């Protein structure tokens, strides 16, 4: 058995998310089918985490154990030829037996892309979120720093009955813009359900003056979800990078 690490890009707009579900088109399902078509092995492709319906990935990571001995380079090419156009394997690497895409992950970086105001584009709708109000860019950039460090993010997630520990550490939060298109890039040791979409919605709601800096500080202290901002749509969200210990 070899343990392989895959780095995967996908456009989430036509998937019911990452996780395999009966009768639904999912990224995990497409990958496992392509691997079965190629090797006749029924493997489980373990992702670094699920992504929701409509969420994209530039660098999702998955691991899988497989008997097949095909050279790594051929394996990548053969899989890409079998996969649909909206999923692409960027890299295949051999890894240690104990490597697991989810349990070994140390850092994840998500990027949220959003158009501020103007007319929504029909062409690019699946690739970016939309926020119809004017926002104060410098204020959002400054307030994004409030999230850096270890915090209880209970006030910045949707309820998920599997979670009891809401502490996560944010290492970096960058806000940039190019014309009407704003980009929020956040790196952390892990994220709660809908957390990135709510962090971005909170900064935008602050940027337009609907929420105050004090609301953010209080939500971080008390875990009160009613003080934080809206949950942004999934279409602007990209899982950019997953990092592991060397």
The one segment of 84-92, 151-159, 164-172, 216-224 that binds its own copies by CB under 8 A: 84-92
Residue 97 · residue 2 · CB < 8 Å: no
Six-digit token pair at 245? Answer: 């210990």
Nearer to its own copies by C-beta: 80 or 189? 80
Tell me the catalytic residues.
52
The one segment of 45-53, 79-87, 134-142, 172-180 that binds its own copies by CB under 8 A: 79-87
56 binds its own copies (CB under 8 A): yes
Query: Which helix (H) or strand (E) element contains residue 221?
Result: helix 213-222
CB of 88 to its own copies, least distance (A): 4
Would the CA dihedral through 122, 182, 242, 80 be positive or negative?
Answer: positive
Which residues within the stretch 89-108 sit at the binding site for its own copies (CB under 8 A)? 90
The one segment of 98-106, 116-124, 156-164, 178-186 that binds its own copies by CB under 8 A: 116-124
Q: How far is the C-alpha of 30 from the C-alpha of 210, rounded, in Å?
A: 42
* Binding residue count for its own copies, defined by CB under 8 A: 21
Beta strand spans in the chain (E): 2-10, 46-47, 56-66, 87-94, 105-116, 129-131, 149-152, 167-178, 181-188, 237-244
82 binds its own copies (CB under 8 A): no
CB of 233 to its own copies, least distance (A): 10
Query: Alpha carbon of 43 to those of 74, 77, 88, 160: distances in Å?
Result: 18, 18, 18, 28
245 binds its own copies (CB under 8 A): no
CB of 25 to its own copies, least distance (A): 13
122 binds its own copies (CB under 8 A): yes
2 binds its own copies (CB under 8 A): no
Q: How far is the C-alpha of 126 from the C-alpha of 129, rounded, in Å?
A: 8
Q: Which of 46, 86, 93, 169 binds its own copies (CB under 8 A)?
A: 86
25 binds its own copies (CB under 8 A): no
Residue 43 · residue 65 · CB < 8 Å: yes
Query: Alpha carbon of 201 to those of 80, 85, 92: distances in Å?
Result: 35, 31, 35
Catalog residues that contact its own copies under the rule CB under 8 A.
Answer: 9-11, 14, 56, 58, 85-88, 90, 119-127, 238
């Amino acid at each position: 058995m070899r343990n392989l690490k895959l780095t995967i890009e996908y456009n989430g707009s036509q998937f019911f998310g990452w996780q395999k579900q009966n009768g639904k088109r999912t990224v995990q399902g497409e990958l496992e089918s392509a691997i079965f078509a190629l090797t006749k092995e029924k493997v489980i492709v373990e992702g670094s985490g699920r992504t929701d319906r409509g969420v994209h990935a530039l660098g999702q990571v998955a691991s899988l154990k497989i008997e097949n001995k095909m050279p790594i380079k051929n394996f990548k090419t053969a899989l890409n030829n079998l996969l649909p156009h909206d999923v692409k394997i960027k890299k295949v690497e051999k890894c240690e037996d104990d490597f697991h895409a989810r349990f070994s992950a140390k850092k994840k970086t998500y990027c949220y892309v959003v158009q501020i105001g103007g007319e929504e584009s029909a062409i690019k709708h699946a690739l970016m979120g939309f926020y119809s109000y004017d926002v104060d860019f410098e204020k959002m950039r400054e307030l994004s720093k409030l999230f850096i460090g270890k915090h209880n993010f209970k006030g910045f997630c949707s309820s998920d009955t599997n979670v009891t520990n809401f502490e996560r550490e944010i290492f970096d939060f960058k806000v940039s813009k190019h014309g009407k298109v704003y980009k929020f890039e956040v790196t952390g040791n892990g994220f709660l359900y809908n957390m990135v979409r709510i962090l971005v919605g909170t900064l935008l709601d602050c940027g337009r003056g609907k929420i105050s800096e004090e609301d953010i500080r209080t939500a971080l202290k008390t875990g009160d979800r009613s003080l934080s901002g809206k949950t942004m749509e999934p279409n602007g969200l990209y899982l950019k990078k997953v990092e592991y210990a060397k």
